[in-house]
Amino acid sequence: MVVVKLMGGLGNQMFQYAFGRSLANKFRKKLVLDVDFLLDRTPKLNFVFRDFDLDIFRLNTFDFFNAEMKEKFRKKKMFSKGTVHLIEEGFHFQDFVELNKFSRFYLDGYWQSYKYFQEIQDVIKHEFQFLEPLNPVQQDLLNRIHATKSICINFRRADFVSIASAIQTHGTPTLKYYHDALTFLINTIGQDIELFIFSDDVEWCRTNFKTNYPMFFVDHQTYKGDRFSAYLNLMTNCKHFIIPNSTFAWWGAWLASNPSKCVITPEKWFADEKLQSQTQDLRPSSWLMLS
């Protein structure tokens, strides 16, 4: 049995699921999702509550960690050497060894590295297919994305600019980063481009992000779909990417099928220097980092 503790928003849940699926496939175990922490509504300071969002995808078989499983797991955890509690010690990739001697796993962490599931990346891409079909308006935008040399530019604001703890931990890329990234892309792929601006603050983007290239602002009200499944779906269909320090945007770029895609990310993924020093395994080697 591989039990995954879920926490955070959709992007974080996807990382946690992907590592759990990788271990479950490798050792031929049942995958179980523990949503107790995720759904706990005990008041917390500077905390954004999240919901279970993974059922927007066509996932393979999994179970939820129910009371009976918990009791059996805890008893075996106490009295058996066959159980291991894998606790994330940092945001860098941890190369766990000799896991084959265990029969039960509990995964407690964010696991934000493609290395945790790169051996089954085709399986993960197959499972992260969207259940909800696009409505006609969303489909029209998808057709436009397909018909152009589309660049997804994502601005993450919301809690990253409004909650003190998020500002101190994450921070946000500067407008200079976005303009420098766009300049690099234009020099690489040419000027016949169209920009698709995905953001939780479209009005801020309209006011502050100015270019001479065609821009389409993808607002939440029209395009987000069920728990942002349509929004992420549309992002994955773009051909190139300029993303912020966001796991949601990371997955949008990683799931994109364009074999020649160019993905640009900020070099500074965390404002917190200790966490920033642990991000060497976050991005595939083909992605470009700009300061």
Query: Two tokens at 126?
Result: 């197959």
Angle between helix 229-236 and 247-255 (nearest 10)? 50
- Burial string for 123-142 (b: 16+ CB within 10 Å, else e) reads ebeebbebeeebeeebeebb
Which residue, among 40, 41, 39, 31, has the nearest Cα to 4 in the 3D structure? Answer: 31
Per-residue DSSP letters for 116-142? Answer: GTGGGHHHHHHHS-BSSPPPHHHHHHH
Give the end-to-end CA distance of the chain in Å, rounded to a whole number: 42
Domain ranges of the chain: 2-127, 136-290
pLDDT of residue 160: 62
- Which own/partner pairs from 73-78 qualify as long-range (CB within 8 Å, at least 24 positions apart)? 73/1, 73/3, 73/104, 73/106, 76/104, 77/104, 77/106
pLDDT of residue 72: 75
**Looking at the domain 136-290, which fold is it?**
Rossmann fold (3.40.50)
Distance CA 168, CA 170 (A): 6
pLDDT of residue 208: 96
pLDDT of residue 78: 56
Please identify every stretch of the chain with a pLDDT value under 70, giving residue numbers as ranges. Answer: 75-80, 159-162
pLDDT of residue 161: 59
pLDDT of residue 76: 66
pLDDT of residue 79: 54
List pLDDT tens digits, range 214-227.
Answer: 999 999 999 999 99
Say if CB 65 and CB 35 are below 8 A apart.
yes
Distance CA 84, CA 101 (A): 10
Beta-carbon contacts of residue 98 (< 8 Å; ≥ 6 apart): none
Say if CB 198 and CB 220 are below 8 A apart.
no
